[in-house]
Every structure is written in structure tokens, then in C-alpha cells.
Amino acid sequence: MRGKGAVIGTVILLLGLTVQAGSIAAGEREITLRTDWLFRGYHAPFFVALKKGYFAEQGVGVQLQEGRGSATVMQLVANQSATFGFVDGAVMAMGVDKGMPLKMVAGIFQRTTAAMMVYQGSGIENPRDIAGKTAGLVPGANTTQLFPIFLQRNGVAPEAVKVINVTPANKTTFFRQRKYDITSALINDEVPALRLQGEQIKVFHFADYGVNTMSLGVVTHPQMLSSSPETVRRFLAAAIRGWEFAASNPEEAVSIFLASVEARVRDVSLEQLRIALTLLHTDATRSRPLGWMAQEDWQKTQDFLVQSGAMKGRHPLDAFYTNALLPGGS
């Protein structure tokens, strides 16, 4: 892949699955953000923060790296192989319940993006019809983690569905080849992509079927909060600024994204971002700054996970999140 040139003193390089911007000051740790998935249009706000120099203005050098599912990404953050992860809140809470050292510092998507999709005419008209079918799922992905809860919530035993493990690269291709009946999807990712390509699909958005939890947000290791809180604060100031710009200027944000990541379709990327921008607040956070998380939303998430058996016990809510380092604070 080729370099993209200099922008306000910041060099953006495509290095395989990494986009790097900014220089690392002597003695300053390198900052990495691992996204939940392969780069998609809904990641454009982070690219805005790179391209427009928001991270550079805050004095942080940042790498964006693609992920392969929330469970995998949060493991990288927990073992400090990545500074930050863009991870599903419910999946992170399940990890914390198992002892993983993680905390969400900005809640970006506050309504779940998780869904399952089938082709129209498949005979699957509601979740109960999934019993006896095959599902293509990516191990570690947030939707995969929530899938058994979705089934149980809708009267289907998880063991009644045969799961075929697939990769991010072949999941949708195999679905289109009808190698399984149903597959995981995000309402702001594969769903708009396939529909814009004319595919006739039916979508079961988990939030519409009794499974709604805190969704994608920025997580880090608690040690980062205690040892380098100002770095976290500066990173979040730039990242949130990128999201605010994208919310007001989605088309320009996507243009910036497409200039940095090759082989993406503009209409699909734009629709992915536009759908994402509808997920930024709940009723409890509409009057709050972007990224701010409400205690009651985390309480609902924990209640749901405990009641469904996905978590073994309850934890103080501040074990999961903090608003203290966001622009505007707690």
C-alpha cells in the first residue's frame, strides 16, 4: 500500500492493518487503538482525529489497528499489548466478571449494534425458527458472545443451533454462498453493505428482541488510568473531537476515512457511519456530552447479564466504567 502524505505535520502511513499518525515524543509511550473489527465506515471519526491533527495537537502519537472481535481486542488491552480498544460494553463486563483488568473510559455506542441476519425466504421469520439451523459465527466477536443470550431470551436452547466457526474475511462470503442459514451482523456494518448491494435479508436486531446492552466504547487497562491519566485525557479529547466533527460532517468524515483506507465503497461506508451516529445516546445521556455514560445504563447492562447467566456475580458499577477523563469530566 502507498503512503498518503503529510497533513498538518502529521504523517499517515498504511502499514498492513495499521494506520499510524503523529510522532512519539522522547520518553512518551506509543498509543495504540485497536478497533473492534476490520476498518469500517463507523470508524471514520478516529481517522478524522488523525487526519485533522487532533491527536497531534494533544501531543499524542497514535496507531489505529484493526481488530478481530471484542473478546480478542479486550485480551490485547488486558495484557497491555494495546493501549486502548474499541470494545463492546457487555462483552467487556463479562471479561471483568472473569477477572480481566479493563475499564471503559468513553461509551460511544450506547445501544447494541448486535444482530443476526438471514435471507428472505429462508423460512426463518422469528428467533424461534433458528432452532435446528446452522449459524456462521466468528469466535470472540461481540455478537458471538451475545448469541446464546439472544437465543435463551427468545426461547431457543443454544445447543439447538449448530455453530460453524468462520473468520471475518469469509463470514459474509460463505453466508452469500448459503453455507449456513444465519450469521452474525452489526446493524451498522454488514446490514447496510448487503442491502446496498441488493441482497434481500431479514435482520433480527438484538435490541428489538430483549437483548440491549452498552455497546462499543473505548476501554483501557486500569494501570493506564493510575499511571498516565493525563495521556488518557488527551487521547479522549482528540477522539471525542473526531466523533463530534463526524456527527456534524458525516460525508467529509467518510472522505477522510476513504483517503486513508483503500478498497472501501463510499455509499456503504457513509451508511455505516450514519447508522452509528443514531446509537450515541440513550434517554439517560441525551443531555450529556458525547461519550458520557449513565449509571442506570450500566446497571441495566449488569442486571441483564446476571439474570441471563452470562455473569456469575454483581460488581460495583465503577468496576466497569469511568467518565472522569472525558472532556467535561464526570
- Answer whether 80's CB lies under 8 Å from 223's CB: yes
- Answer whether 130's CB lies under 8 Å from 161's CB: yes
Q: Is the pLDDT of residue 16 over 60?
A: no
pLDDT digits (tens, 9 = 90+) for 134-161: 999 999 787 898 899 999 999 999 999 9
**Helices and strands in the chain: count of H runs, count of E runs:** 12, 14
Q: What share of the chain is helix, strand, coil (3-state, %, to 5)?
A: 40, 20, 40
Nearest Cα residue to 10 out of 47, 53, 43: 53
Percentage, residues of the chain above pLDDT 70: 90
Give the pLDDT confidence score for residue 304 in this predicted structure.
Answer: 87
Nearest Cα residue to 242 out of 55, 73, 60: 55
Give the pLDDT confidence score for residue 2 in this predicted structure.
Answer: 32
Q: Backbone phi, then psi, for 114, in 5-degree steps?
A: -70, 140
Nearest Cα residue to 104 out of 330, 283, 296, 323: 323
Q: What is the mean pLDDT of residues 37-54?
A: 95
Q: Is the pLDDT of residue 253 over 60?
A: yes
CATH of domain 114-209: 3.40.190.10
pLDDT digits (tens, 9 = 90+) for 49-106: 999 999 999 999 999 999 988 999 999 999 999 999 999 999 999 999 999 999 999 9
Model confidence at 21, pLDDT cuts 50, 70, 90, reads very low
Give the pLDDT confidence score for residue 68 in this predicted structure.
Answer: 87
| Other CB atoms within 10 A of residue 7 CB | 17
pTM reported for the whole predicted model:
0.83
Output the furthest CA–CA distance in the chain (Å, rounded): 61
Give the pLDDT confidence score for residue 314 in this predicted structure.
Answer: 96
Nearest Cα residue to 146 out of 131, 134, 158: 158
The packing angle between helices 266-276 and 250-260, to 10°, is: 130
Q: Backbone phi, then psi, for 180, in 5-degree steps?
A: -150, 165
Q: Is the pLDDT of residue 239 over 60?
A: yes
Q: Is the pLDDT of residue 26 over 70?
A: no
Model confidence at 280, pLDDT cuts 50, 70, 90, reads very high
Distance in angstroms (rounded) separating the CA atoms of residues 280 and 291? 8
For 6-111+214-319, which CATH superfamily applies?
Periplasmic binding protein-like II (3.40.190.10)
Query: Strand, coil or helix: what is 84?
Result: strand
Nearest Cα residue to 142 out of 305, 33, 18, 17: 305
Kindly report the CA angle at 51 between 76 and 328, in degrees rounded to 5?
A: 70
Distance in angstroms (rounded) separating the CA atoms of residues 200 and 19? 34
Helix (H) or strand (E) holding 182: strand 182-186
Same fold, 6-111+214-319 and 114-209: yes
Distance in angstroms (rounded) separating the CA atoms of residues 272 and 41? 5
Q: What is the mean pLDDT of residues 249-266?
A: 92
Give the pLDDT confidence score for residue 29 in this predicted structure.
Answer: 57
- Mean pLDDT, rounded, of the chain: 89
Helix (H) or strand (E) holding 34: strand 31-34
Q: Which three cell numbers stand for residue 201?
A: 435479508
| CA contacts within 13 A on the Cβ side of 219 | 40
Query: Per-domain residue ranges for the chain?
Result: 6-111+214-319, 114-209
